Chain A
């Protein structure tokens, strides 16, 4: 029991504060104690920050022993994605236009010129919820993040 918790309980015993107030103060202390950990390990949403982006291709059910199916396991550190995006911010506008055009041709509507560092952090935080499962008869493709 911490010194602050003792003080709150003493104040409650001495009837200086009500039960509700003591409860609120104890809760506030708990939140405060948990804050440093969450600020280092978790993002602004309170979720732990993603560490790795994983892409896995495995044989589907019934094909586990089928050696013709390629097994792919890729683990990309999220920090590498972040650094790569920062590196891309150094591209001159003409090159960004070309990249945007090439992406558009492939059906991806992503404007490289509008990507800001804040957006990048939001995208990386949003990766926490990313989970792609493509299941076919032969293969199972999974894209997910690891904390």
Chain B
């Protein structure tokens, strides 16, 4: 079963020192859900406007793409899928003095 990421681990080592950070993403998810509920009337208005104006033909493709993805259930689902696929992502870049490490668990 797919699950959203729980923790994001960020480590930045520089000349000035170390900066380790554990971001509890599971605490941010209820906030994101709350934000989605608050924004849902605006999303609904945007969907209605887009439909009435022929899906915003006069808008630039980039704006249309962004609005289209935001204002569709498929878009929200696809974005959630991307979020749920993130656990396991790891980026580690380092040289003599610096290191950037990002891991999503």
* A118 proximal to B (CB < 8 A): no
Q: Is B89 an interface residue (CB 8 A)?
A: yes
Residue from A67, A73, A77 in contact with B85 in the complex, judged by beta carbons closer than 8 Å: A77
Asked if residues B82 and A92 are in contact (CB atoms below 8 Å), the reply is: no
Q: What are 11 inter-chain pairs, A to B, with CB distance below 8 A? A: A70-B94, A73-B91, A73-B92, A79-B85, A80-B86, A83-B84, A83-B85, A84-B85, A90-B69, A91-B65, A92-B61
Residue of A nearest to B2 (CB): A79
Dominant SS among interface residues on chain A:
mixed
A95 at the binding interface (Cβ < 8 Å): yes
> Which of A51, A70, A82, A95 is the most central at the interface, judged by chain B CB atoms within 10 Å of its CB?
A95
A68 in complex: contacting residue of B75, B87, B96, CB < 8 Å: B96
A85 and B12 CA atoms in complex are apart in Å by 30
Please tell me if the beta carbons of B92 and A92 are within 8 angstroms of each other in the complex. Answer: no
Query: Could you tell me which B residues sit within 8 Å of A by CB distance?
Result: 61-62, 64-65, 68-69, 72, 74-75, 78-79, 81-82, 84-96
B75 touches A75 (CB 8 A): no
> Of A68, A75, A84, A95, which is within 8 A of B90 by CB?
A75
| CA A77 to CA B87, docked complex, whole Å | 8
- Per CB-CB distance, the 6 closest pairs between chain A and chain B, nearest first, are A67-B96, A94-B61, A79-B85, A80-B85, A73-B92, A77-B88
Judge if A98 is at the interface, Cβ distance under 8 Å. yes
- Quick one: given A77-B88, A80-B86, A98-B61, are A72 and B78 in contact (CB under 8 Å)? no
Known contacts A71-B94, A87-B81; is-contact A77 B65 (Cβ 8 Å)? no
Q: How many residues of A contact B (CB 8 A)?
A: 26
B61: nearest residue on chain A (CB-CB)?
Answer: A94
Is A29 an interface position by the 8 A CB rule?
Answer: no
Please give, as numbers and ranges, the residues of chain A lying within 8 Å of B68 by CB-CB distance: 90, 92
Name the one of B69, B78, B82 contacting A80, with C-beta atoms under 8 angstroms: B82
Q: Please pick, from A52, A69, A82, A94, the residue contacting B88 in the complex, using a CB distance under 8 A.
A: A52
Contact flag A90-B75 (CB < 8 Å), given A70-B95, A82-B85, A95-B62: yes
